[in-house]
A and B are shown apart, each in its own frame.
Chain A
Amino acid sequence: MAETAPKPRIRLDRKEVKAGETIEIKSLISHIMESGQRRDPQGNIIPRKIINKFTCELDGEMVFGADLEPAVSANPYFQFKIKPGKSGTLKFTWIDDDGSKIEATEQIKVT
């Protein structure tokens, strides 16, 4: 399968909330999530290559995260909600088995 650079997508249901209100976040990244269980036509195991970690931070503070195993579907998708206590920058990071990091950011405002 042709390798393309993983492309992250983030969608927030709103970027401005009152204190105590929630923001729903949907995140998706294009990635093959090769499980390391499959074999090529010659019978060799195709080496594992997955996104093994996802984090969502607000101004450097961990809000939500996940450690992924090969049993997460290709193009890992997460839907979660946060209740931000302050305005700031949401930073989303995906970490690949090869060590590369893919990042995306969104500004949010709490009034």
Chain B
Amino acid sequence: MTDAAASYNLLFKIELGENKNMNNAISRRQAFGLGAGVIVGLALPLRPTAALAKNDAEEAIKSFAGGKTPEKAKVKLELPEIAENGNTVPVTVSIESPMTKDSYVKDVLIIADGNPRAGVITFHFSPSAVPEANTRIRLAETQNVVAVAKMNDGSVYMASKEVKVTIGGCGG
């Protein structure tokens, strides 16, 4: 939360600073155009802060991981850098695992931390599946997508990726 506030403040100062410096050197008409640009510019830094606004993402990960802290390893999450249409964003998750009876991936939870609700989907694997799955999801806005994998021995691993969303995909 403090990080979010700090980064927002920093961006805010940068925007204001630019505005002041440039106003000295340009005509009124240009300044007006610039003013509009600054308003847009101010709106943009709000997006990453909004993405940090908490839904139930942390709780969802905690309850899925069973109290363990997921290690950032073994999980690969593929998503577009920029999703033009948040209504259908392709996501592929793959996990390093031998997939034998003794050692396999059991469940993989996908979380979106900027959606109205964090949970997106939980995949269930068995030793006769390949630890990889692809689907299409809805993202309301620019945010982080997190994949948490739980192995049959209870160990948990994760990966996350930020996706910039041009048009949000939550109905309306």
Is chain B found bound to chain A in the same assembly?
A: yes
A73 engages B138 (CB within 8 Å): yes
Select which of B115, B124, B133 is within 8 A of A71 by beta carbon. B115
Question: Does A35 have its Cβ within 8 Å of any Cβ on chain B?
Answer: yes
Question: Does B42 have its Cβ within 8 Å of any Cβ on chain A?
Answer: no
Question: Does A76 have its Cβ within 8 Å of any Cβ on chain B?
Answer: yes
Total contacting residues, chain A, CB less than 8 A: 30
Select which of B116, B128, B132, B138 is within 8 A of A72 by beta carbon. B138
28 residue pairs bridging A and B, Cβ less than 8 Å apart: A35-B170, A37-B170, A37-B171, A38-B170, A38-B172, A61-B126, A62-B124, A63-B126, A66-B122, A66-B124, A67-B124, A71-B119, A71-B138, A72-B135, A72-B136, A73-B87, A73-B137, A77-B134, A77-B136, A79-B133, A79-B134, A80-B130, A80-B132, A80-B134, A81-B132, A83-B99, A84-B128, A85-B128
- With A65-B124, A85-B128 as contacts: A78 and B135 at CB distance below 8 Å: yes
Question: Does B117 have its Cβ within 8 Å of any Cβ on chain A?
Answer: yes
How many A-B pairs have beta carbons closer than 8 Å: the answer is 96
Question: Does B88 have its Cβ within 8 Å of any Cβ on chain A?
Answer: yes
A82 engages B128 (CB within 8 Å): yes
Please, which residues of chain B bring their CB within 8 A of the CB of A81?
Answer: 129-130, 132
**B interface residues, Cβ below 8 angstroms from A:** 87-89, 99, 112, 115-117, 119-126, 128-130, 132-139, 169-172
Inter-chain CA distance A84–B129, complex, in Å, is 8
Q: Chain B binding site: helix, strand, loop or mixed by DSSP?
A: strand
Q: Top 10 closest A-B pairs, CB basis?
A: A38-B171, A81-B130, A79-B134, A65-B124, A73-B136, A71-B120, A73-B88, A69-B119, A67-B122, A64-B129
Please, which residues of chain B bring their CB within 8 A of the CB of A62?
Answer: 124, 126
Please, which residues of chain A bring their CB within 8 A of the CB of B139?
Answer: 71
